[in-house]
Amino acid sequence: MKAISSSNTKTIQPGTVLKCADNSGANLLEVISVLGFKGKRRAKPTAGIADVVVCRVKNGNEKVRHQVFRTVIIRQRKAYKRSNGMWVQFEDNAGALMNDKFDPTASMIKGPVAREVIERFKTVGKIASIVV
């Protein structure tokens, strides 16, 4: 994983429900924890674009329902600022399921994917349909 070039606003925290944007069979994901979060004492762990979270599949087909996966955040509703001064905002909060080696478990991602995700995870860019 590489560092990303934008200063993103981190708004996704444990309990947030994400839309699953890939064709793995999951529909809704519930965030359990944020990987690599370092904060002050009693601070809620938060995540933003291109961060990795641990999610439980809340709704989907029977093979993946109630399983726990690592997920990369590919879209967030809250606007964030890129290094060139442009503000980016998406319609929903969405993620894509990953395995333990940070490779996508699916073969296709539906909808747009933020450019910051492609900078950090090259394999996500190979299966993305639109990069914004």
Q: What proportions of the chain, in percent to the nearest 5, are helix, strand and coil?
A: 10, 40, 50
Q: Spell out the domains of the chain, with CATH numbers in brackets.
A: 17-131 (2.40.150.20)
Task: Say if residues 27 and 20 touch (Cβ distance below 8 Å).
Answer: yes
Q: What is the pLDDT of residue 46?
A: 94
Closest CA to 60 of 101, 98, 102, 18: 18
Q: What is the pLDDT of residue 108?
A: 95
What pTM was computed for the model?
A: 0.89
Token pair 């994901």: residue: 29
Q: What is the pLDDT of residue 83?
A: 87
Q: What is the pLDDT of residue 51?
A: 94
Task: Say if residues 74 and 90 touch (Cβ distance below 8 Å).
Answer: no
Q: What is the pLDDT of residue 79?
A: 94
Type and span of the H or E element at 69: strand 68-75
Please count the residues of the chain.
Answer: 132
d(CA 9, CA 38) in angstroms, rounded, equals: 15
* pLDDT digit string (tens) for the chain, length 132 residues: 666 666 678 999 999 999 999 999 999 999 999 999 988 999 999 999 999 999 999 999 999 999 999 999 999 999 999 888 899 999 999 999 999 999 999 999 999 999 999 999 999 999 999 999
